[in-house]
Structure 1
Amino acid sequence: MEGQRVPFACTIAGSDSGGGAGIQADLKTFAALGVWGCTVVTAVTAQNTVDVLASLTVDTHIISRQMEAVFQDFPIRAAKTGMLPDAATIRTVAEHLPPEVSLVVDPVMVATSGRRLASPESLSAVCAHLIPRAALITPNIPELCVLTGRKTITTTDEMIAAGQEILAMGAGAVLMKGGHLTTERSPDVFLSADEQFIIDGPRYPYEVHGSGCSLAAAITAYLVRGEALPDACREGKMFVSCAIRDAVPALSGRRMVNPGSMISDAIPRRK
């Protein structure tokens, strides 16, 4: 009997030992949306919802071999990037990504605490090698500020102006996340050469670890399922809003995004 046809996607990111972000969150999101997830691990971290205790960058030779392995054997139509720890990693990923693969870039540059994660060399490499290759880039407001050299962004109009600069760098489109705005709702702004619209969503009264990872992964999953990019962004926003609503608390009290909540009702429970 012919095997079931399943869409494939790839996440190129760091491992989160707490399972709330990074490759673990990406794989949970892919699985929840019926997509087979392949992985390229760029870093191994010892982390939880509170802190990163240690981190080990994967050698670029191993990164390139992982990419060779997954892209030569699986029909991957789209990939997403997350944590790319240094400029050498960024150049390696850009060099080994097949040209026909759509790329969603989640520019992991600023920690939730506000600590900047990207060195000047990494920022230059992202702008030179990844943004021109990206079908979509999904910055939050602190990352948007870093990418465009702004000190603050406080309105959707300012988000749009910054997004125009991202498009000028060569990106196909940009989805700017409004979670850091001080508004009652949480508006994301989609911008491309042809379209501009706001995707509104609820704001929950708690921070969630891994929401950016899950959003970019969900958009990637919808792309490989055949959705057009604007629709994939709309569907991805709805998906991650539910995953935030059903977020799982750790012992610290901080919550982790829960992509599996949308399929958990289908799993038989023991009485």
Structure 2
Amino acid sequence: MAYFQALPSPERSRLFTRVFQLAPGSGDDPLKGHLQTVDITSPPFPYEALSHHPGLANDPSAFLWIQNHAVPIRPNLEAALLALRDPEQPRALWVDALCINKDDVDEHSRQIRDMSVIYKQASRVIAWLGSKTEGMDLAFELAHRLARIREVEDEQDRLSEVPVDSESREEVREVFLHGLSPENLHQLHQMFRRPYFTHYWCVVEVMAAADVIVKSGDLEISFNDIGPSLSSAAQANATPQQDSPLEVWWKRPRAAGDDALLSLG
């Protein structure tokens, strides 16, 4: 591809990749940017790594501009870049679909091999669930509140010299779940049915990262904050098939606050 410059050969303590500098813009401004080669073991500037479901091969193509070349991208990536684009400042992103020359077999294999380093070195990883749909705000609201329950219960355990009784736990849950309904729980389950949570590479990318935020449209939450609900929601849906990506999330040890989901069922 004409807009790719060959990466330097890897050295003993240096690994090279490209970072996409997403140009600022808003509204109907076309998506555009340029690629910059960096040593990923010591990046010269902070960058974020995008974790997203690639979509289907037969999805219609959108386009962005890289070094004055029109590059086809799938709609889910287009939606992510539009949501992440800053109106005034460029944004440094590592995106596999843009930063790897897949026509170069040797480079492709090296970059796949170095993927864990790329995600580990990122200032943070953005787990893009897809565009915001009706009810997604209800799912995020419940996830936020379950995370706060976990924090309070963890603090109770830390300060108490004896095990905290179930009545005290229930009081905390009643406070934080006040005003919510079974629809919040339904929408949370729907969120975990999104393709993102059944894609192997998404699991690998999140596991490698030091800091992960989850985004859908303009909604945002720490990946740590969906922990109290992830395994419980997966179990409530159905036991996933053995060796499926969802099984990794489902087997996550239950955390404080998980049982609070039952009161909304």
Which structure: greater helix fraction?
2
TM-score normalised to the size of structure 2? Answer: 0.26
Over alpha carbons, which structure has the higher Rg?
Answer: 2
